[in-house]
Amino acid sequence: MEENILNTDIKFLQGIGPKRAEVLSKEANIHTFRDMLYYFPYRWIDRTKVETIKNLYVSNLNIPNYDNEVLSLDNNSFSDTVTEVSSNTYVQLRGKIISVETIGYKTNKKRLEAILKDSTGEIKLVFFSGLKWILEKLTIGDEYIVFGKITIFKNDITIVHPEIDLPEKALSFGVGKMAGIYRMTEKMKNGGLGIKAITKIESVLLAKVLPNLEETLPDYLIKAAGLCSLSDALKNIHFPLNTNALSRAQYRLKFEELFYLQLGLLKQKHNRREKLRGVVMKNVGDNFYKCYNSLPYSLTGAQKRVIKEMREDLRSGNQMNRLLQGDVGSGKTLVAVLISLIVIDNGFQACIMAPTEVLAQQHYKNISKFLLNTEAKCALLTGSTKKREREELHKKLQDGEIDILIGTHALIEDTVVFKKLGLSIIDEQHRFGVEQRSKLWKKNLLTSDKLSVVPHILVMTATPIPRTLSMTLYGDLDLSVIDELPPGRTPIVTKHFYESRRGEVFAFMRGQIKLGRQVFVVYPLIKESEKMDYENLEIGYQRILEEFPYPVYKTAVVHGKQKSEDKEYGMNVFANGGAQILVSTSVIEVGVDVPNASVMVIESAERFGLSQLHQLRGRVGRGSKDSYCILMTGVKLSKESKKRIDLMCSTTDGFLLAEEDMKMRGPGDIEGTNQSGLSMNLNISSLYKDGVILDEARRWASQILEDDPSLQFGVNQILSKQLLILKKGGKDFKDYSIVS
């Protein structure tokens, strides 16, 4: 089949047209035949089974969480065994309509209520729209197949807006087979795109495209990996013959999705090694040893291990492309300094790009201390750097008088030219867009023989990333992990307090301040409710001023609406000990290093994700003093919020929390993934649930590229073609590694 048919505008499919196409585009991001074909059900119901009304009333009414599961409505007729059928569950019934009544319930509002009866009982069917059509369709005394989602209203079980068909018609439309349930919005339902309509559309589409559908994986891989064909997979994902056929379809489609993600990433890695060279840096010289020997403490085993890994990269002749992952306070900055000094000892320069001025200044301050006993010179470049200072800095940089340049996105400006850039370090890299990062990484250096060579790359993040997510987001980078904290760090005690116990929290804060400690008070800042959040911060700030009055106490405030100089002033006042309390939004999540701060109070903690709570908690515990994180919440907490709060109080393991965060929120909601350059809208696979399939897919991708790095063999042409299609569709990893 020609590829063009899958790219056909969805409005040209029978049964859709311009109006429905507009709804599908806005509500489900469906624009083409391909989008519709890969719009999969999230749940399947075995419609070979018919439930009894009696079972609905004797089942428990807890709402289950069915997700990508097969729900079997097993009917054991009138035996004592009863299926667990709960509110919010789809059911199928068969019975006679014994009454139909139109009822007024609001001014000029009517609803239609019909009673369905089978041999075990009666149930109410309720309709709020299309009443005329329903009245014409229903005949009292006739038998119907009813399919819909049960709800509980005033202890009565009802089905609102069910599908109703005569048995002979229903059998031709879903009954007698497994039926898929598709995610849909109210606007889709109101636009005539309910479950029945979507099912019919998918049926029409499959009939149109399946006969000539081209495979997207080579035959040898399909056989060796034990996969079903693409045609069988697409047919059985929408209309499964049975649970076994559905399982095979799910595996095939998940495998393919994850395989191409990994193939694209690993191909970039192979390309880079083929086309790019890194300067061979053999020497470990005086600057490195002067810094290393002057440290007041020993490096952790993890720090030594990752330095060794990077040292091997630098002298290999290949370009280093490494992700350094380490929890808050694990010592990543020191590792970055020592690696930079190796680069400097080999006659090259290094740069470190941070996402905020505050973090850039913090790095400059800390790194300057590390360099005190060395000959290396560092400089700071941010948006606030004055024109005259900037001009002088540019000159020194080109002359090679600056060894390490630390800064914000100002580093990527075209006017910033290095004499011999050997290493680019990006800190908290998820805060940068793909384009920003690639501009820095593409800054070439001129070696003595005038060859164009790219710098070595070190990407750092303090955000713990689950293994499956890091394989997908950063699968083309080599990974180093610092998985232990430096000695002397005292574990942070985390406690949960409801709003009603705020007085106790204030008393505790006073006690800590009396001991000479400092306190963070952080408010959430969620984009959707930004105005309300700032109001909450202002109210909270005023309350702190009342409870901790000047001049006995001094309080600074920092938030995103301030000018950068005002924000910087507030941060510096607190960091330098001029204020005991800092009231802030989560802008302080990254970058503030105040060893004297021992208390982190997080307001409305239920509104933060686990990873962000952990990052905020990491702002304290920087010294050897006892440190505390206090999670303030309202009394009413959802089950999920309570679980997050309890997890925070039970562990300080950032990697464990990251895994749990992905379980609860999904990978696309974890901070940073939206800017990764990767489309995280996976159609069917789950980075949390499908780790085993991901490992298998990556193994196959790696094996294929070992034999055919450029995918030039005839049997692999299909892989090159599919990668190109996915890249055009925005599904592949956007290339930030220089090589296209």
> Hey, which of 178-192, 387-401, 417-431, 722-736 has the most confident mean pLDDT?
387-401
Are residue 16 and residue 146 in the same domain, yes or no? no
Q: How confident is the model at residue 534 (pLDDT cuts 50, 70, 90)?
A: low
Q: Please state which of the ranges 2-11, 530-539, 578-587 shows the lowest mean pLDDT.
A: 530-539
pLDDT given for residue 163 in this prediction: 82
DSSP state letter for 9: B
**Position with higher pLDDT, 71 vs 257:** 257
What is the rounded radius of gyration, in angstroms, for the C-alpha atoms of the chain?
Answer: 31
Q: Count other C-beta atoms under 10 Å from residue 200's C-beta.
A: 14
pLDDT given for residue 62 in this prediction: 39
Q: How confident is the model at residue 725 (pLDDT cuts 50, 70, 90)?
A: confident
Backbone angles phi, psi at 181, to 5 degrees: -110, 120
Residue 442 scores a pLDDT above 90: no
pLDDT given for residue 78 in this prediction: 26
Residue 360 scores a pLDDT above 80: yes
Residues 477-529: tens digit of each pLDDT: 788 888 887 776 777 899 999 989 999 999 999 999 999 999 999 988 755 56
The residues that bridge with 482 in the sheet, in sequence order, are 326
Are residue 90 and residue 165 in the same domain, yes or no? yes
Q: How confident is the model at residue 672 (pLDDT cuts 50, 70, 90)?
A: very low
Give the separation between CA 480 and CA 326, rounded to whole angstroms. 8
Q: Please state which of the ranges 28-42, 187-201, 578-592, 666-680 shows the lowest mean pLDDT.
A: 666-680
**Position with higher pLDDT, 439 vs 713:** 713
Range of the domain at 26: 1-41+199-213
Residue 700 maps to a domain: no
pLDDT given for residue 156 in this prediction: 76
Q: How confident is the model at residue 361 (pLDDT cuts 50, 70, 90)?
A: confident
pLDDT given for residue 681 in this prediction: 57
Average pLDDT over residues 8-30: 92
Beta strands in 136-222 (DSSP E): 143-153, 156-160, 163-165, 178-181
Q: Count other C-beta atoms under 10 Å from residue 116's C-beta.
A: 24
- For the chain, the 3-state helix, strand and coil shares in percent, each to the nearest 5, are 45, 20, 35
Positive or negative, the Cα torsion across 391, 397, 403, 408? positive
Backbone angles phi, psi at 176, to 5 degrees: 95, 5
Residue 724 maps to a domain: no
pLDDT given for residue 401 in this prediction: 94
Are residue 20 and residue 87 in the same domain, yes or no? no
| 537 alpha-carbon distance from chain centroid | 27
Residue 236 maps to a domain: no
Residues 245-273: tens digit of each pLDDT: 999 999 999 999 999 988 988 888 887 77
Q: Please state which of the ranges 348-362, 462-476, 563-577, 652-666 shows the lowest mean pLDDT.
A: 462-476
Residue 685 maps to a domain: no
Residue 625 scores a pLDDT above 60: yes
pLDDT given for residue 73 in this prediction: 32
Domain count along the chain: 4
pLDDT given for residue 140 in this prediction: 92
Are residue 449 and residue 510 in the same domain, yes or no? no
Residues 104-120: tens digit of each pLDDT: 877 778 888 999 999 98
pLDDT given for residue 671 in this prediction: 43
Give the separation between CA 92 and CA 80, rounded to whole angstroms. 20
pLDDT given for residue 735 in this prediction: 39
Q: How confident is the model at residue 431 (pLDDT cuts 50, 70, 90)?
A: low
pLDDT given for residue 88 in this prediction: 60
pLDDT given for residue 294 in this prediction: 93
CATH code assigned at 87: 2.40.50.140
Q: Please state which of the ranges 33-37, 464-468, 646-650 shows the lowest mean pLDDT.
A: 464-468
CATH code assigned at 413: 3.40.50.300
Q: Which residues lie closer than 8 Å to 268 by C-beta, 6 or more apart? A: 476, 733, 735, 737, 739
**Position with higher pLDDT, 358 vs 40:** 40
pLDDT given for residue 430 in this prediction: 55
**Position with higher pLDDT, 348 vs 189:** 348
Joined tokens for residue 184: 């849909």
Are residue 94 and residue 127 in the same domain, yes or no? yes
Q: Identify whether the C-beta of residue 677 lies closer than 8 Å to the C-beta of residue 247.
A: no
Give the separation between CA 467 and CA 613, rounded to whole angstroms. 20
Give the separation between CA 456 and CA 321, rounded to whole angstroms. 6
Average pLDDT over residues 643-659: 85
CA angle 553, 591, 444 (to 5 degrees): 155
pLDDT given for residue 195 in this prediction: 82
**Position with higher pLDDT, 724 vs 221:** 221
Are residue 452 and residue 545 in the same domain, yes or no? no
Residue 714 maps to a domain: no
**Position with higher pLDDT, 97 vs 484:** 97
Write down the number of H helices and E strands in the chain: 26, 24
Are residue 535 and residue 587 in the same domain, yes or no? yes
Are residue 454 and residue 518 in the same domain, yes or no? no
Mean pLDDT of the chain: 82
Residue 65 scores a pLDDT above 50: no
Give the separation between CA 442 and CA 458, rounded to whole angstroms. 14
Residue 561 scores a pLDDT above 50: yes
Distances (CA, A) of 315 to 227, 281, 345: 42, 5, 13
Average pLDDT over residues 362-370: 90
Give the separation between CA 677 and CA 680, rounded to whole angstroms. 9
Average pLDDT over residues 174-183: 72
Joined tokens for residue 146: 């009813």
Report percent pLDDT > 70 for the chain. Answer: 83
Residue 447 scores a pLDDT above 50: no
Q: Identify whether the C-beta of residue 377 lies closer than 8 Å to the C-beta of residue 403.
A: yes
> Hey, which of 104-113, 194-203, 587-596 has the most confident mean pLDDT?
194-203
Average pLDDT over residues 360-379: 92
Q: Please state which of the ranges 70-84, 230-244, 658-672 shows the lowest mean pLDDT.
A: 70-84
Are residue 626 and residue 594 in the same domain, yes or no? yes
CA dihedral 61, 65, 67, 71 (to 10 degrees): -20
Average pLDDT over residues 82-106: 75
Average pLDDT over residues 54-80: 42
Are residue 21 and residue 137 in the same domain, yes or no? no
Average pLDDT over residues 367-377: 94
Residue 88 maps to a domain: yes
Give the separation between CA 238 and CA 249, rounded to whole angstroms. 9
Residue 436 scores a pLDDT above 70: no
**Position with higher pLDDT, 610 vs 649:** 649
Report percent pLDDT > 90 for the chain. Answer: 38
Token pair 């569950």: residue: 89
Query: Any alpha helices (H) in 45-130, and if so which ranges?
Result: 53-58
Average pLDDT over residues 564-592: 79
Residue 682 maps to a domain: no
Residue 550 maps to a domain: yes
Residue 322 scores a pLDDT above 80: yes
Residues 545-554: tens digit of each pLDDT: 999 999 999 9
Are residue 501 and residue 625 in the same domain, yes or no? yes
Residue 586 scores a pLDDT above 90: no
pLDDT given for residue 172 in this prediction: 52
Q: How confident is the model at residue 98 (pLDDT cuts 50, 70, 90)?
A: very high
Residue 165 scores a pLDDT above 90: no
Distances (CA, A) of 264 to 14, 320, 505, 686: 35, 19, 51, 18
Q: How confident is the model at residue 587 (pLDDT cuts 50, 70, 90)?
A: low
Are residue 308 and residue 361 in the same domain, yes or no? yes
